[in-house]
Amino acid sequence: MYVKSQLSWNVIIPAENLDVEGLMLQKAIVIRLMNDFASMKASKNLGYFMALTSLERIGEGKVRDHAGDVLFPVEFSCLTFKLFRGEILEGVVGKILKHGVFLGCGPTKVYLSHQKMADYKYMPGENPIFMNEKMSRIEKHIVVRFIVVGARYVEAEKEFQAVVSLEGDYLGPISQTVV
């Protein structure tokens, strides 16, 4: 789920942003780091980049040949979100199809196949639902607890895709209203 990570990146500051005052330079480095961090979205090893939590160290700048820009090595801590196989999570039902359900879980969407919810039957209609014999309903905006069966990273979209299941104890719908 959430992982605290230590990262080392290089931040490039254009020559026109360089200032004699140390505070202005530090501000330019932090702003550039935050912009670069926000544009990264996700990586295969770390998951989705959620928040930059602390700046640990700014190294000595090195002038890049021909450009005049300065490259600063930066170390920082951040919070990431990654799905792990076997992990139990909760998600909100976003879309219901005949063959399964798409749920929102943090920054990602996961798929719950009808084959992975054995007791539930699809009920078509204007607002389709899945219902079991105990009248438990999986419908739009309901919170569902599930287990991650598998996840993969799609490099082109820089996002994760996951398949989840309700096969296990205490899994299934856990609320009848949006939380």
Per-residue model confidence as pLDDT tens digits over 40-78: 889 999 999 999 999 999 999 898 888 788 999 999 999
Beta bridge mates, 134: none
Report the C-alpha gap between 37 and 20 in whole angstroms. 26
Look at the pTM and tell me if it is higher than 0.85: no
Per-residue model confidence as pLDDT tens digits over 141-171: 999 999 999 999 999 999 999 999 999 999 9
Report the 3 state secondary structure along 10-77.
Answer: EEEECHHHCCCCHHHHHHHHHHHHHHHHHHHCEECCCEEEEEEEEEEEECCCEECCCCCCEEEEEEEE
